[in-house]
């Protein structure tokens, strides 16, 4: 097997080869680390490579295979962790100079512990904008993370490093975080799969406000099978997350149990708060919907009367940053991301009344989406209004341009489809569904009822089979 084929081997296949003794986890980890050094210089997806630790874990994984020990579903598979999540013995920087010299984490986050228990090899921490505050991955502390399909474009954010790692074959899976689309935005920009689970499905141990939470840990991968395997490893209750304590999967919808989709009702949402949709995004959305229709699904337009609470959502988002990061300003203001400072300044300008009105709007949005699920089994939207923005885009001040028209800031003009489902808690899956004329990936978002991840994974697999993407490799991949 060539190095390129080895790097792009799916996690499920790699784990099977490792269990049979046909593939050495040490060989796989060495290949990933060697290529990671090369990609890091060009695209900057990593805060740190954990080379010694990863190789030690790979050798232990190989010994476990030889001894006949019980093996987990991800045994020997390399995985990267967004540097917003604690890994025992490794510093968690949150993309900020504030924590660049902080103490090492003394324990794994529950998600990391579950990956280790499944046999995964943790080989890196991935980049994010400071405290994950925006949909691009850049900042004064760790530089700019670039898109593997076109380094002049952003990788998206805030899990940009994770998306680049997966897209370039540096581990078939990665752990991301999604507070306002931060898994789905970079996954769509980089042509990989990303899941924001149902609220509570995968515990988020590090949330400061567990009860008002809209941040989610979730898997990123190149294939639906890998994503499903990783999700199964991560899911389940944890005492630290109250939403996780009663979370449970719904059974697969009967309309998705067979080989066709007769009986499945799909609602298509073409626009959320955004005014425009890129021509190729619209065409690939229709092509994806046509796949479902051809298999018997009933399709209708939806969401025209939804109030997507763009401004109330902005109030909540920016006010939360103003409060949570205020304690750092006196010492660190000059070294913080100007975009974060702008968000915080705007957040400070909102009143308590406006913040509470945003919370009320969140409830109204949830109930509006629930009413849609009385008519539909799954909702389908573009993931973004257009493909990846320029890498130097100023998320605080620049307006997003779509089809020659300026359409507002990123939350309004670009990523308006994703944040609403952070607020409502519904599961949302982005899968690649084609390319634009410049060769940049496009993505489609599938949204399900609370607990209906199995429906989304099944429907995503239908699209993966009809319009396969995992064999597409970015030109930035240089291995022989």
Supply the residues annotated as catalytic. 82, 158, 182
User: What are the φ and ψ backbone dihedral angles of 102, each rounded to 5 degrees?
Assistant: -75, 170
Phi/psi zone of residue 343: left (φ > 0), alpha (ψ -120 to 50 degrees), beta?
A: alpha
| Burial of residue 384, with CB atoms counted within 10 A of its CB: 0-12 exposed, 13-18 middle, 19 or more buried | buried
Query: What would the DSSP string read from start to end of 220-266?
Result: EESSHHHHHHHHHHH-S--TT-GGGTT--PPPPPGGGSSSS-TT-EE
Angle between helices 51-67 and 11-20 (to 10 degrees): 50
Q: How far is the C-alpha of 16 from the C-alpha of 14, rounded, in Å?
A: 5
Q: Which two three-digit tokens encode residue 151?
A: 């380094």
**Neighbouring C-beta atoms of residue 374, cutoff 10 Å:** 6
Would you say 464 and 470 are in contact if contact means Cβ atoms under 8 Å apart?
yes
Cβ partners under 8 Å of residue 283, min gap 6: 434
- Which among 38, 49, 134, 143 has a CA at the least distance from the CA of 87? 49
Query: What would the DSSP string read from start to end of 323-351?
Result: HHTGGGHHHHGGGS-HHHHHHHHHHHTS-
Residues facing 344 on adjacent strands = none
- Classified as helix, coil or strand, 60 is helix
Q: Which two three-digit tokens encode residue 69?
A: 């020990």
Q: How far is the C-alpha of 279 from the C-alpha of 437, rounded, in Å?
A: 10
DSSP 390: B
The C-alpha angle 140, 332, 355, rounded to 5 degrees, equals 95
């Amino acid at each position: 097997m060539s190095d390129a084929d080895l790097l792009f081997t799916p996690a499920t296949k790699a784990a099977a080869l490792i269990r049979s003794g046909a593939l050495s986890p040490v060989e796989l980890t060495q290949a990933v680390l060697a290529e990671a050094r090369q990609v890091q210089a060009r695209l900057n997806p990593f805060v740190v490579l954990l080379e010694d630790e990863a190789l030690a874990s790979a050798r232990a994984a190989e010994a476990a295979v030889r001894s006949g020990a019980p093996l987990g579903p991800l045994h020997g598979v390399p995985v990267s962790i967004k540097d917003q999540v604690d890994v025992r013995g490794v510093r968690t920087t949150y993309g900020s100079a504030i924590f660049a010299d902080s103490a090492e984490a003394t324990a794994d986050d529950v998600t990391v512990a579950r990956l280790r228990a499944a046999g995964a090899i943790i080989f890196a921490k991935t980049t994010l904008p400071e405290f994950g505050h925006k949909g691009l991955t850049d900042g004064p502390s760790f530089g700019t993370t670039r898109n593997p399909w076109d380094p002049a474009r952003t990788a998206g954010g805030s899990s940009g490093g994770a998306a680049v790692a997966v897209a370039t074959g540096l581990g078939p899976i990665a752990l991301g975080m999604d507070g306002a689309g931060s898994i789905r935005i970079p996954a769509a920009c980089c042509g990989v799969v990303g899941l924001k689970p149902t609220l509570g499905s995968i515990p988020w141990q590090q949330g400061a406000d567990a009860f008002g939470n809209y941040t989610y840990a979730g898997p990123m991968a190149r294939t639906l099978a890998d994503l499903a395997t990783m999700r199964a490893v991560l899911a389940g209750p944890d005492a630290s997350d109250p939403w996780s304590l009663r979370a449970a999967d719904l059974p697969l919808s009967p309309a998705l149990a067979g080989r066709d989709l007769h009986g499945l009702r799909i609602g298509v949402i073409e626009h959320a708060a955004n005014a425009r949709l890129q021509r190729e995004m619209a065409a690939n959305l229709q092509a994806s919907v046509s796949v479902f229709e051809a298999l018997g699904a009933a399709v209708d337009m939806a969401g025209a009367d939804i109030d997507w609470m763009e401004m109330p959502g902005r109030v909540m988002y920016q006010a939360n940053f103003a409060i949570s990061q205020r304690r750092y300003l006196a010492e660190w203001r000059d070294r913080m991301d100007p975009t974060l400072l702008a968000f915080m300044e705007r957040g400070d300008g909102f009143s308590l009344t406006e913040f509470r009105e945003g919370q009320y709007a969140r409830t109204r949005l949830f109930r509006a989406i629930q009413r849609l699920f009385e008519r539909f089994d799954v909702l389908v939207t573009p993931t973004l209004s257009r493909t990846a923005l320029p890498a130097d885009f100023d998320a605080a001040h620049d307006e997003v341009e779509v089809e020659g028209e300026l359409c507002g800031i990123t939350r309004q003009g670009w990523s308006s489809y994703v944040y609403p489902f952070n607020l409502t808690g519904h599961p949302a899956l982005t899968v690649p569904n084609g390319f634009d004329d410049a060769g940049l990936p496009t993505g489609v978002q599938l949204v399900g009822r609370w607990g209906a991840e199995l429906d989304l994974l099944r429907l995503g697999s239908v699209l993966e089979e009809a319009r396969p993407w995992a064999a597409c490799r970015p030109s930035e991949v240089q291995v022989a």
